[in-house]
Amino acid sequence: FPAMVSNPKLALAQGTLSVVMKQNVTLSCLSEPGSPPVRYTLFKHNQQVSALNRSDLSPALFTLTISSASDVGEYKCKAEYNNSSGGKYSNSLTFTLLEPISKPVLSSPTSQAKQGQNVTLSCFSENGSLPITYLFFKGTQNISPQKTMQKRKAAVIFLLINSLSDFGTYKCKANNSFPNITKYSNAFNFTLAEERSHSQPLIISLGLILLLLIIGFALAIPFFLIPLYKASE
Asked if domains 9-97 and 105-192 share a fold, the reply is yes
Residue-wise pLDDT tens digits, 76-116:
999 998 766 678 999 999 999 999 999 999 999 998 999 88
Inform me whether the pLDDT recorded for 228 exceeds 60.
no
* pLDDT value, residue 205: 75
Buried b (16+ CB within 10 A) or exposed e, 61-71: ebebebeeeeb
CATH number of 105-192, picked from 3.40.47.10, 3.30.379.10, 2.60.40.10, 2.60.40.1180: 2.60.40.10
Q: Helices (H), strands (E): how many in the chain?
A: 1, 20
Cross-strand bridge partners of residue 29? 10, 60
Q: Among the listed ranges 133-147, 153-167, 182-196, which one has the minimum average pLDDT value?
A: 182-196
* Residue type (1 letter), 24: N
Cis peptide before 145 (omega within 30 of 0): no
The answer to whether 95 and 21 are in contact (CB under 8 A) is no
Q: What is the DSSP letter of 180?
A: T
* In the chain, % of residues over pLDDT 90: 63
* pLDDT value, residue 231: 59
* pLDDT value, residue 195: 60
Supply the mean pLDDT for the chain.
87
Closest CA to 167 of 210, 112, 233, 120: 112
Residue-wise pLDDT tens digits, 30-76:
998 767 789 999 999 989 999 999 988 899 999 999 998 899 999 99
User: Confidence class of residue 208 from pLDDT cuts 50, 70 and 90?
Assistant: confident
Q: Which run of H or E residues covers position 217?
A: helix 199-231
Can you say whether residue 15 is alpha, beta or left, with left for phi > 0 and alpha for psi between -120 and 50 degrees?
left
The answer to whether 136 and 143 are in contact (CB under 8 A) is yes
CATH number of 9-97, picked from 3.40.50.450, 2.60.40.10, 3.30.540.10, 1.10.10.10: 2.60.40.10
* pLDDT value, residue 229: 55
Q: How far is 88 from 77, CA to CA, in rounded Å?
A: 8
Q: How far is 217 from 207, CA to CA, in rounded Å?
A: 15
**Domain coordinates of the chain in residue numbers?**
9-97, 105-192
More confident residue, 81 or 187: 187
Closest CA to 86 of 11, 6, 31: 6
* pLDDT value, residue 40: 94
More confident residue, 208 or 127: 127
More confident residue, 200 or 97: 97
User: Confidence class of residue 1 from pLDDT cuts 50, 70 and 90?
Assistant: very low
User: Confidence class of residue 233 from pLDDT cuts 50, 70 and 90?
Assistant: low
* pLDDT value, residue 225: 59
Closest CA to 177 of 66, 69, 17, 13: 17
Q: Are strands 60-66 and 23-30 parallel, antiparallel or unpaired?
A: antiparallel
The answer to whether 64 and 50 are in contact (CB under 8 A) is no
Question: How large is the average pLDDT for residues 126-139?
Answer: 95
